[in-house]
Amino acid sequence: MSRRYTPPGHHRSVEAFREHLRGLDPAFDCGDELLGPEGPLAKPLTVFGRNAGNRFAVHPMEGWDGNRDGSPSHLTRRRWRRFGLSGAKLIWGGEAVAVLPEGRANPNQLFIDGERLDDCVVWLEALRREVLAGHEESGVAGHRPVVGLQLTHSGRLSRPDPPPALPRPLRAQVHPVLDGRLGEAANRPLVGDEQLEEIADAYVRAARCAERAGYDFVDIKCCHGYLLHELLGAHMRPGRYGGCFENRVRLPLGIIAAVRTACPDLGVGVRLSVGDVAPFGADGAGVGVPEVESARPAELGFGLNAADVGLPEPTCSEAIRYIALLIEAGVEVVNVTMGSPYSCPHLSRPFTYPASDSYMPPEDPLRSVLRQLAAVRTVRAAFPRLPLVGTGYSYLQEWLPYVAEAEVGAGHVDFVGLGRMVLAYPRLPADVLAGRPLERKRICRTFSDCTTGPRNNMVSGCYPLDEHYRRTPEFGRIREIKKAAASL
């Protein structure tokens, strides 16, 4: 597949990159030189009652590599250790841990087993210790990182059994396009209200485990198309948890209140998709286009733009209404993200090279990054004192620290959250903070192999740049899959 936009890494100077950036949107800029240890990324901030010694956060990143009993494998532990090795002082959730086995998005997702809660506490604590051990190794001075656990239920994306078994989606509402992608499995009934209330209890039980395992906070995940995110946009759902705004926010707010009562000393954060677009698919040329099969498509999600469902709503109006309620409920930090990697990966994880089930970017991926940065600025303007984590930085490549210093320095965001970059180059934050030059050969070039792997029932990892994965037979299979896709 041919590339249509200049990736940031092709610019040989910060001036050339800046011209590209400002050509897309003059509201953005970056400095000429990095400030490193003297700069805004090295400044501490108190979150969840603890001192976070710098402004790097590691986003949650699953590996599709847990054991079938829901516990972590050696690969899971290795990933968490590398999160710590980054030197980032905020570890946002580690990875999505399902609160029930049937709420897993894949058979190898970590889950809390209600029959074996003590065992879960043991492995949760072991994962947290991997982060702390990695942080020790990072050489970044100061307090230990603030560590959270992301709790999830996959909702319509539930697929707890290995193929060829069908997925077991728990849909919050009827969605003509997304239901079509589920095939026969879409014949299952919508998740009922009572079932939702049982799921809420499972979140509280999981939060208790996280507290016992020493986590500083839990993230009640409301993003990326999973259950609570779909409920937020369930305009068409009947009953207590759908339709009007008050009904749509009822379940996540109820979960947060119950967690706060059960675990008063545990912090609560929320990762929220503040804006979304209609599901995208490939057109005849393989380029992403919104798929619309409804008279009122903006009512099929949260934060869609009624004027153009191909572009997220720029004022984040419903998200802002919801965040005001989150703050009242005691949520201390919000991690701002957009869309879903299953239905609009170009927005959720801007890339040059699509994953095997994806499409060519419909816009300059740098523009998609700017949508994420603009969204967090909008939330910041509405809530100047609420600590915020931003998303979408990995695509910036060499210029990531330049943009990060500019955004944090201007107070548009508090933490620069890193996803794929940490899989490829875990020590990037430590290098930036120490003022060391970046190791160019380690920089994530958004090849999307970490997504192509799991989309084809393999574990995730940075196959092209992480020596461990490069040596596995799976890397050969991924290359074959990409070659076959390119020849179509």
Ligand X SMILES: Cc1cc2nc3c(=O)[nH]c(=O)nc-3n(C[C@H](O)[C@H](O)[C@H](O)COP(=O)(O)O)c2cc1C
Please give the residue ranges that form the binding site for ligand X (CB under 6 A): 59-62, 95-96, 150, 221, 223-224, 271, 337, 349, 391-395, 418-421, 450-451, 460
Q: Is 191 left (phi over 0), alpha (psi -120 to 50) or beta?
A: beta
Q: CB–CB of 373/407 below 8 Å?
A: yes
CB of 424 to ligand SF4, least distance (A): 4
462 binds, among ligand SF4, ligand X, none (CB under 5 to 8 A by kind): ligand SF4
Q: Which of the ranges 87-95, 255-263, 317-325, 447-455 carries the binding residues for ligand SF4, by CB under 6 A?
A: 447-455
By CB under 6 A, tell whether 418 contacts ligand SF4: no
Q: Which is nearer to ligand X, 82 or 349 (CB)?
A: 349
- Containing 274, the helix (H) or strand (E) segment is strand 267-275
Q: In this chain, which stretch among 108-116, 230-238, 369-377, 438-446 interacts with ligand SF4, using CB under 6 A?
A: 438-446
Question: 463 near 478, Cβ under 8 Å?
Answer: yes
Applying CB under 6 A, the span of 217-225, 309-317, 318-326, 459-467 interacting with ligand SF4 comes to 459-467
Interface with ligand SF4, residue 223, by CB under 6 A: no
Among ligand SF4, ligand X, none, residue 393 binds (CB under 5-8 Å by kind): ligand X
β strands within 163-227, DSSP E: 217-220
**Residue 357's CB: how many other CB atoms inside 10 A?**
15
* 420 contacts ligand SF4 (rule: CB under 6 A): yes
CA angle 232/66/485 to nearest 5° reads 75
CB of residue 245 vs ligand SF4: minimum separation in angstroms? Answer: 36
Give the DSSP H/E element, type plus range, for residue 390. strand 388-390
The partner in contact with residue 150, picked from ligand SF4, ligand X, none with C-beta cut-offs of 5 to 8 angstroms by kind, is ligand X
**Residue 91's beta-bridge partner residues?**
58, 147
Which of the listed partners (ligand SF4, ligand X, none) does 159 bind, with a CB threshold of 5 to 8 Å by partner kind? Answer: none
Please choose, from the candidates 208, 155, 256, 223, the residue with its C-alpha nearest in 3D space to the C-alpha of residue 417: 223
C-beta atoms surrounding 36 within 10 Å: 16
Q: How far is the CB of 384 from ligand X (least distance, A)?
A: 24
Q: Which is nearer to ligand X, 80 or 241 (CB)?
A: 80
Distances 269 to 25, 34, 214, 260, 329 between C-alpha atoms, Å: 30, 30, 16, 11, 11
Q: Which of 444, 458, 459, 481 binds ligand SF4 (CB under 6 A)?
A: 444
Residues lying near ligand SF4 in the complex (CB under 6 A) = 420, 423-424, 444-450, 462-465
